[in-house]
Structure 1
Amino acid sequence: MNDEFTITDEQQDYSQYDLKANPFPYSPVPAEDPEIYCGQSHVTERISSTVSSVLSTGKSKHLVVTGKYGNGKSHTLKYTRSLLRDRNDVIVGYVAQPGEGFLDIYHEFTYDLGFNRIQELAYEYLASVSRDITDANPISEGAMKSLIDEGDVLLSEIVPEAIRRLSDVTKFSDFARAIIHMVYEDTNLYAWQWLTAEGIRYEQRKEMEIHSALDDDTMGVRAFTALKNLLLDLGYTSIFVFVDEFESIARLSPKNEQATLNSIRHLMDQNSSGLCMLFGCAPEVWQDVMSEYHAFSERIGQEVALRPLTAENLYDLVENYLGRERTMSSHDNSVHPFTEDSLELILQNSQGNVRQVLSVCSRMLDEVAKEEQSKITTDFAKEFF
């Protein structure tokens, strides 16, 4: 009988360190909505300035956040996104990586918004039309849905006018029809598939009186612009697009890379207001883009670089993570059970890489608790490198 495996659901006890649990992630991948951000002030200031400028002026502005693998680009983008999500006057979408071209960026963005959010926008637009041409006064998408469900407002009464107005707003009548069809039970899945550039059959398009296919980068730019114009017409101030791992465009063929960058450039040119794009990109790829594709890089113009952590950054990071699980704060050492010497060793060996720091801190805390030692000394820390 093999007794080497010992599998248990019993939790490790961290109470001797005044901790309820190990606060460090076992797999240091950024959470969807990070609670902690110990960034570098020059980065937070630049991002804050860019975002605030868009919110206050309505003028489009864009930024590239560069940094080596594991230095916190994704964490920075996701944390900024989580702050903006709390606002009800903007729309925020995250693209994990740019894929094979702009159409993939558009697809990922609309998918991140989700079926329900797009459907809500359709009801919001119908509500605005209903307030103008009927006696009803729906003040929200929920109120509009109730009026339709209860038969107090007939779709046949408002849809023709809604499509006409939305076609004028978006300059894209097929997009207008797809948005309105999001409220019909029989066709809302077809409309969703068309709007997300998944592709639908001719018969399904015909049912919605949609004539074009959303199947190339040019159509993607047109649909993105139409979506932004719909949002501005509904009173939203801006649309924020976070494109992570932008360095993956370097894996495309030169022709496809140039086509992708040209499409993003066209999107920026067509949307001088209400659009903010933030990219996360490896520095060497961004340098290549700046040297080879001036027309694109000039549209952004702004870059801020994440640097490796300093000793002060590292101390703050560890202190903040430990603070999430503290049961009491009686220790003179706010990074207990880590010592300053052990943190110095971690900094040297990780070279200030955030991902490596979080990973090794997680493993050290588990091991020191298992061995029931009072603190993480330098000698103890050396075993992990």
Structure 2
Amino acid sequence: MSDSAFNITDDERDYSMYSLEENPFPYSPVPDEDPAVYCGQDHVAEAVGDTVSTLLGTGKSKHLVITGKYGNGKSHTLKYARSLVRDREDVLVGYVAQPGEGFLDIYHEFIYDIGFDRVQEIAYEFLASTARDVTDTNPANADAMESLIEEGEVLLSEIVPTAIQRLSDITKFADFARAIIHMVYEDTNLYAWQWLTAEGIRYEQRKEMEIHSALDDDTMGVRAFTSFKSLLLELGYTGVFVFIDEFEAISRLGNKDKQATLNSIRHLIDQNGSGMSILFACAPEVWQDVMSEYHAFSERIGNEVALRPLTDDHLEDLISSYLQTARTNESQKIEPFESETLELIHQRSQGNIRQVLSICGKALDQGLDQGQQTVTPELVQTILE
């Protein structure tokens, strides 16, 4: 096969003909980690805002299920909601891409999303609060505590026993307390991290940290999750947000595993009436099954909001908002798309956001390649055939 069989180039495409810096529509319509655009349905935005605001404003736990068919924007809504709170200093935010094989996988993904560095920082924060009480120093934050230890002004041996005892009293889980504190030790922090993420470590490694139990089942996962939240509240945080995407994946589990997973989440909710908010994204048919078969779980959530297919107006707002992110002029309109083109896109996509974005991205490139000043219904028709 000759080298010329494929036409590969790294030349950037020039969208200036459309007064755009780039094609603003994603080639793979998967939501960004921090979506810049959210054209929503007001009732969904209101429900998400109310759920998030309840925890931020009152400290009380509130939970929400966002339902919607494939491609109608569940993940996008969840990630947009996450982007609104993840930079706040008074909360901790964890994203779970899908529930896996059970609750322990949910816990693992949550801690893993928070990350090694952030958990280590929280460990230093707790040591700082202990140091302020048992030494003459006054470390204001995690960085100050780390500096005092590195400079030898505070010895770990001086504060660690007290810190472990205090954290054990707060969490009622001594092994969790030891694992958190061992996050600051250079020779054991990786073992501590593996234990905290439920990855599993050998008995010898646990023994080195004086940890007696393995974090290896759903009950222990619920206990560790609750302990982590209790630690955060002790440090003055408002609480924890947990975003669980593709919750419909639980339908692939056997009945026993599905019931165990839902029971574990129910226990987690029951044990955390304050300081925790869980937002689920779930296909509507799976959520209907959960509500009909697992009342004890679904009653704990209490709130559901459904994403509907886009209306004509929503579709126009969505396309306009995406175009606005790449505009080189002051236009607020839908150019280069013609109004009739939007009608065709709406008709053929049936208001499915994922399909709308995919069609728009392809149409813009096709129009550019053909040198068309506007994206016409005829041009879109060639893509759809």
Both proteins in one fold, TM over 0.5: yes
**Structure 2 residue identity aligned to 1:346:** I
Asked whether the 8 Å contact 1:63–1:300 carries over to 2, the reply is yes
Q: Which residue of 2 aligns with 1:88?
A: 89
SS of the residue corresponding to residue 203 of structure 1 reads: helix
Q: Which residue of 2 aligns with 1:37?
A: 38
Q: Which residue of 2 aligns with 1:274?
A: 275
Taking the aligned partners of 1:159 and 1:208, their CA distance within structure 2 comes to: 12
Per-residue CA deviations over 1:217-271 (Å, capped at 9, x if unaligned) read 0000000000000000000011000000000000000000000000000000011
Taking the aligned partners of 1:54 and 1:308, their CA distance within structure 2 comes to: 29
Q: Which residue of 2 aligns with 1:286?
A: 287
Q: Which residue of 1 aligns with 2:372?
A: 373
Q: CA deviation at 1:55?
A: 1.2
**Structure 2 residue identity aligned to 1:49:** D
Q: CA deviation at 1:2?
A: 6.6
Q: Which residue of 2 aligns with 1:337?
A: 336
Taking the aligned partners of 1:268 and 1:5, their CA distance within structure 2 comes to: 55
Per-residue CA deviations over 1:172-203 (Å, capped at 9, x if unaligned) read 00000000000000000000000000000000
Asked whether the 8 Å contact 2:35–2:76 carries over to 1, the reply is yes
Q: CA deviation at 1:16?
A: 1.2
Taking the aligned partners of 1:91 and 1:7, their CA distance within structure 2 comes to: 44
Q: CA deviation at 1:378?
A: 1.3
Taking the aligned partners of 1:162 and 1:154, their CA distance within structure 2 comes to: 13
Q: CA deviation at 1:4?
A: 4.5
**Structure 2 residue identity aligned to 1:361:** C
SS of the residue corresponding to residue 357 of structure 2 reads: helix
Taking the aligned partners of 2:152 and 2:13, their CA distance within structure 1 comes to: 58
Taking the aligned partners of 2:309 and 2:9, their CA distance within structure 1 comes to: 38
Taking the aligned partners of 2:168 and 2:364, their CA distance within structure 1 comes to: 59
**Structure 2 residue identity aligned to 1:237:** T
Q: Which stretch has the larger CA shift, 307-316 or 7-16?
A: 7-16
Q: Which stretch has the larger CA shift, 5-14 or 285-294?
A: 5-14
| Pairs within 5 Å for 1:97-116 | 97-116=98-117
**Structure 1 residue identity aligned to 2:295:** H
Q: Which residue of 2 aligns with 1:202?
A: 203
1:138 aligns with 2:119: no
Per-residue CA deviations over 1:284-335 (Å, capped at 9, x if unaligned) read 00000000000000000110000011111111111111111111125xx711
Q: CA deviation at 1:384?
A: 1.7
Asked whether the 8 Å contact 1:12–1:370 carries over to 2, the reply is no
1:298 aligns with 2:299: yes
Q: Which residue of 2 aligns with 1:229?
A: 230
**Structure 2 residue identity aligned to 1:26:** Y
**Structure 2 residue identity aligned to 1:235:** G
Q: Which residue of 2 aligns with 1:20?
A: 21
**Structure 2 residue identity aligned to 1:82:** S
Q: Which stretch has the larger CA shift, 30-39 or 120-129?
A: 30-39
Taking the aligned partners of 2:4 and 2:265, their CA distance within structure 1 comes to: 59
**Structure 2 residue identity aligned to 1:186:** D
Q: Which residue of 1 aligns with 2:381?
A: 382
Q: CA deviation at 1:12?
A: 1.6
Taking the aligned partners of 2:103 and 2:179, their CA distance within structure 1 comes to: 20
Per-residue CA deviations over 1:330-352 (Å, capped at 9, x if unaligned) read 5xx71111011101100110111
Q: Which residue of 1 aligns with 2:63?
A: 62
Q: Which residue of 2 aligns with 1:162?
A: 163
Asked whether the 8 Å contact 2:366–2:379 carries over to 1, the reply is no
TM-score (norm 2): 0.98
1:352 aligns with 2:342: no
SS of the residue corresponding to residue 355 of structure 2 reads: helix
Taking the aligned partners of 1:7 and 1:179, their CA distance within structure 2 comes to: 50
Q: CA deviation at 1:13?
A: 1.5
Asked whether the 8 Å contact 1:54–1:60 carries over to 2, the reply is yes
Q: CA deviation at 1:58?
A: 1.0
SS of the residue corresponding to residue 384 of structure 1 reads: helix
Taking the aligned partners of 1:161 and 1:185, their CA distance within structure 2 comes to: 20
SS of the residue corresponding to residue 65 of structure 1 reads: strand
Taking the aligned partners of 2:188 and 2:289, their CA distance within structure 1 comes to: 45
Asked whether the 8 Å contact 2:242–2:279 carries over to 1, the reply is yes
Q: Which residue of 2 aligns with 1:147?
A: 148
Taking the aligned partners of 1:212 and 1:98, their CA distance within structure 2 comes to: 24
Q: CA deviation at 1:53?
A: 1.1
Per-residue CA deviations over 1:70-121 (Å, capped at 9, x if unaligned) read 1111111111101101211000000000000000000000000000000000
SS of the residue corresponding to residue 297 of structure 2 reads: helix
Q: Which residue of 2 aligns with 1:174?
A: 175
Q: Which stretch has the larger CA shift, 4-13 or 277-286?
A: 4-13
Q: Which residue of 1 aligns with 2:242?
A: 241
Q: Which stretch has the larger CA shift, 9-18 or 146-155?
A: 9-18
Asked whether the 8 Å contact 2:96–2:106 carries over to 1, the reply is yes
Per-residue CA deviations over 1:22-48 (Å, capped at 9, x if unaligned) read 111111111111111111100000110
Q: CA deviation at 1:382?
A: 1.2
Q: CA deviation at 1:3?
A: 4.0
**Structure 2 residue identity aligned to 1:181:** H
Q: Which residue of 1 aligns with 2:327?
A: 326
